Structure 1
Amino acid sequence: MSFDVDPQRDLVRITLAGFFAPDDVARFVAARDAAHQQLRCGPNAHATLVDMRAMQIQSQETVTAFQQVLGDPRQASRRLAFVVARSLARLQIRRAASERQAAYFTTVEEAEAWVTGR
């Protein structure tokens, strides 16, 4: 898991890979909150790009945990894009993000162009 914050563009880039246990989701939330502290924009004014092409299929418990994270309106992005492989993981993130307006892409370039409006 890695975070790259671009305060000039109000953009948070997240890369997720592998398998997540519930404790990993808690670590993700802490890292995400730290990344949001680096932004200069107001709450919910940032954009987020999540590259999860290297993420494995997750347990139902982990999908539910991510669903709760994504459902928290206090940390919601104005735009949210996921870069996903064509696999079951794509279906899992769609289910986890069902409460959010999000877009799904197969390349980082397409996702970043959409999420930044360029």
Structure 2
Amino acid sequence: MSARFFILVDPSRDLVRIKLSGLYEVSDVEDFVRARNKAHEALRCRPNQHLTLSDVREMKIQSQQVVAAFRNLLGDPRHRSRKLAFLIRPSLTMRQLVRAIDQRDAQCFGEESDALRWLLASDLATTQDMRLVSGTGH
């Protein structure tokens, strides 16, 4: 398929940046979860105290099974972000995302600057210590 993801970790700001694109299979979501969990190891903060910015503007419409897999991922309390922002484009994908983030303290944005301003509102640290994790689906 065309599933791709990139994960960039900024431990100094407890910030995880994620970019998801393409069409996913459930196995691609599982690959992403493994990479995301490994990326979280680079964080310096306590569990669940990090911030996450997820760019899903290039995701395709996903199957119901994949939406359910992402819903399970977002519902996992072990890797829950303190704040979660999504970059989206208005579309059916946006409606799928809204269903997947049910019960989460999350916001959706059209512009990265707005999402970062919201995420970092109470976090003032700024350095360039970032790590990149990337992957492609099957």
TM superposition score category, shorter chain reference: over 0.9
* Aligned match of 1:24: 28
* Aligned match of 1:86: 90
Q: Does 1:72 align with 2:52?
A: no
Please report how far the alpha carbon of residue 97 of structure 1 lies from its aligned counterpart in structure 2 after TM superposition. 0.6
Structure number with the higher helix fraction is 1
Please report how far the alpha carbon of residue 116 of structure 1 lies from its aligned counterpart in structure 2 after TM superposition. 1.2
* Aligned match of 1:52: 56
Please report how far the alpha carbon of residue 108 of structure 1 lies from its aligned counterpart in structure 2 after TM superposition. 1.0
Structure 1: gaps (5+ residues):
none
* Aligned match of 1:106: 110
Give the superposed CA RMSD. 0.8
* Aligned match of 1:34: 38
For 2:103 and 2:77, the matched residues in 1 are separated by 10
* Larger Rg belongs to: 2
Identical residues among aligned pairs (%): 48
* Aligned match of 1:3: 7
Please report how far the alpha carbon of residue 42 of structure 1 lies from its aligned counterpart in structure 2 after TM superposition. 0.4
For 2:31 and 2:121, the matched residues in 1 are separated by 30
Equivalences, count: 118
Offset from partner CA, 1:35-92 (integer Å, 9 cap, x none) = 1000000000000000010001000000000000100111100000000011010010
Please report how far the alpha carbon of residue 34 of structure 1 lies from its aligned counterpart in structure 2 after TM superposition. 0.8
Deviant stretches of 4+, over 6 Å: none
Structure 2: gaps (5+ residues):
123-138
TM-score by length of structure 1 reads: 0.98
For 2:103 and 2:78, the matched residues in 1 are separated by 14
Query: Which structure has more RCO (C-alpha within 8 Å, separation ≥ 6)?
Result: 2
